[in-house]
Each structure stands twice: as C-alpha cells, then as structure tokens.
Amino acid sequence: MRMLHTMLRVTELERSIDFYTQVLGMKLLRRKDYPDGKFTLAFLGYGPESDTAVLELTHNWGVDEYELGNAYGHIAIEVDDVYKAAEQVQAAGGNVTRPPGPMKHGDTILAFVEDPDGYKIELLGPK
C-alpha cells in the first residue's frame, strides 16, 4: 500500500493552482473537467504520481464557499530552510499565519501558511 493523494475542495481553481505552483513550487501534473458531474480535478505535486503522494484540488462548479470545519488540521511540506521558505511565501503574496520558529514544547522549527481557501500548510525543515 501507499498513499496516493490528499483532496481539497477549492472555490477558485485557477487561483488555487497559482498558489500551489507559484507560491509553493508544485507542478500541475494533470487536470480534467467532468461536465456531466459539473466538477474539475487538478493534481499537483513535487514529483510524478507514480513515485510521490500528490494533492488533488476539486472544484465543484458553482460552489463559492466551503466550511473547513474543526476536524481538518494541515498539510505538511518539508523545506530546506523554514525561515527562507516562509519569507519566499510572503514575498510571493502568500499568507504566513504562524511565523517561523521553534514549536511550543519542542525545538522543531516550523511555520504555517494558508492557501487561498484557508487551508493550513505547515512548513517543516528536514528531520
């Protein structure tokens, strides 16, 4: 078994694709419209789907808002330097919601950013 992807519902697909590709450096791997179901799927990642888990963005046509609920936590992305990555995200127009620094009750350096739909993304340095 292996993890294939994580799916997020997004309200503006192009805006979300731009965030994940331009701000977080992912590549758009594939995209397909499903007119009968009135939705589009876009798969993004840092490597091919055959080798790495990817992110699936689902855009349900005509849906302008989602409630994130209180069960969703975050997506974690490993970066070489958390401080530099957070600075780059902010410079690219991304929202850094928790500046880089040590985690509470530990010494792991982390930061949190938010995508255009409010999903949290944790930036972590290599272990």
Contact 96, 89 (CB under 8 A): yes
* Look-up of token digits 């855009």: 59
Instruction: Name which of 73, 75, 58 is nearest 17 in CA terms.
Output: 58
DSSP secondary structure of 21-74: IIIT--EEEEEEEETTTTEEEEEEESS-TTTS-EEEEEEETT------TTT---
Q: Which of 49, 87, 114, 122 is catalytic?
A: 122
Q: Are strands 120-124 and 75-78 parallel, antiparallel or unpaired?
A: parallel
Active site residue 122: yes
Active site positions, annotated? 122
